[in-house]
Chains A and B, each alone.
Chain A
Amino acid sequence: MCQADDAGGAGEGRDEDRVGAMFSALLEDSAEDLYENAPCGYLSTLMDGTIAKINGTLLGWLGIGREELVGRRRFSDLLTVGGRMYYETHIGPMLTMHGEAGGLALELKAADGTRLPVMATSRVKTGADGSAQLIRITLFDARDRRAYERELLRARQESEADRDRARQLASTLQRTLLPPSLMTVPGMEVAAYYHPASVDEVGGDFYDLFPLTGDSWGFFLGDVSGKGAEAAVVTSLARYTLRSAAVYNPEPVKVLDNLNTVLQQQYRGGEIRFCTVVYGCLVPDDTGCAITLVSGGHPPAIVVRADGTTQFLHTHGGMLVGAIPDARFTEITAHLGPGDTLLLYSDGLTEARPVGGSSERYSEEELLDHLAASAAHGASEVIASLTELLTGFGDGVEDDTALLALSIPLPRDGDS
């Protein structure tokens, strides 16, 4: 090592000289050369924007000769119409106020008509007395960046399209879980409402009304635990099982027994899937209709009588459906006369948090009072009144809400 140092001592000195000379040769004309051929565009303008100096790189981008620009054109003449407006309304005032403006995305108009996206920064050069003399502008070629942004935008549009497709799918699936329109029962008025808590996910509420025999009808309203695709599978299973079980044996307790068995079999060993449901059977008679109801862990149905009084139809002891093998369900009967309305609802309504209210959830008792105070008569009016109530809750409705109302219309004046 030492030897090498000694031997190379004189030579090293010569090498240093050579490198130094090489650098200074490179550096000597560098200011002008760097300005002219820098990897970015430079130009200086007078305070009114008239181009005073412009570098070769920028002239190359524009495809315009120096003599056409210097002293003849303004910087804004090089921009697209949008860029010109932006320059005059934002950049100009910013330069006047702050002496600089940066991070500006502009588009240059080249002689051949092509547009060149650039990122611009500019600064005002002041004289010794502090007066503004020139505006110096640096322009960076932003074609790559613009392409990147376009790519981002395209990816975003694509993901938005995907989300729209998912929403479309969710709403299509949702429709298959609800009847497209309720069947009409002779001599009765029926109305229903469904409020999905989320547009992205399929909800877990379901209802239906369907003919059993010539003179009786089955109906149900239920709520599956959970949300999304998993819940939708159970919702679909519950809905079709209830319909087919009812045709096989219309006795309401048997219908829920059957659903309980099916849900148990389906999810044996896996995650327990269950639902709450009210199932009913109605038989129109001379004075209205007779109703048999059975509940599986569902909030109690409500009857709004013709005189405006309201009452719960409690089905004590009815268990959650699908949770345990030997679930018990109890049956109750009721009668609807002219002007009476039966309402089934899911807990999205009674668990909603009223807007502006406390964190207390809306209770079944409050619902009963609301209906008594509303003076709503008949299925359509009851549903309309509750729809309005739900709309008032706004974002307070965290769960899906399903409503189904059945009523016996009052005889019209002409009929009596």
Chain B
Amino acid sequence: MSTRFSTTTSAVPAGLVLALVGELDSSTAPAAQEAIRRLTLRAGDRLIVDLARLEFCDSSGIAALIAARSLAGRAGATIALAAVPRHLGKVLGLLGLADLFTTLPNADHT
């Protein structure tokens, strides 16, 4: 198991917080995808993806964020990205994806 990347999922009153920690690239993205598949979201929940401790994110990481968004959409839940690193914010903007995600300054903000 890679120690470069880990995920934690915690339940909060509004829904779930999925924290992505470390380096998210093509070798660690499957672990992120797996964590996303395991999320049990109910209609009306809010999924907060906490990126405060995400150190690196390439296109496979973007794919994981999109997967999380479509999973939330299918469940009737909403998604928000918390503490988006500056570079990732710029990349999301370039890719035209900034409007797809609500952003929060941090995961505690509900």
Contact = CB atoms under 8 A, between A and B. Distances in A.
B99 A320 contact: no
A37 to B, nearest CB: 59
B95 A297 contact: yes
Interface string A268-284: 00011010100000000
A299 B94 contact: yes
Contact of A320 (B26, B67, B96): B96
B106 interface: no
> Interface majority SS on A: helix, strand, loop or mixed?
loop
A86 to B, nearest CB: 48
Contacts of A276: 95
Contact of B95 (A226, A272, A319, A328): A319
**Count class of interface residues, chain B:** 10 to 19
B66 interface: yes
Interface in B1-32: 26
Contacts of B100: 319, 324
A317 B99 contact: yes
Interface in A150-194: none
A64 B70 CA distance: 85
**Count class of interface residues, chain A:** 10 to 19
A228 to B, nearest CB: 10
Contact of B96 (A225, A271, A272, A318): A318
Interface string B73-97: 0000000000000000000001111
A324 B94 contact: no
A226 B59 contact: yes
Nearest to A296: B96
Contacts of B103: none
10 contacts: A225-B60, A225-B63, A272-B66, A274-B59, A276-B95, A297-B95, A320-B62, A323-B97, A324-B69, A324-B100
Given A318-B96, A319-B100, 20 more contacts: A225-B59, A225-B60, A225-B63, A226-B26, A271-B33, A272-B66, A274-B66, A295-B96, A296-B96, A297-B96, A297-B97, A317-B99, A320-B62, A320-B96, A323-B63, A323-B66, A323-B95, A324-B66, A324-B69, A328-B96
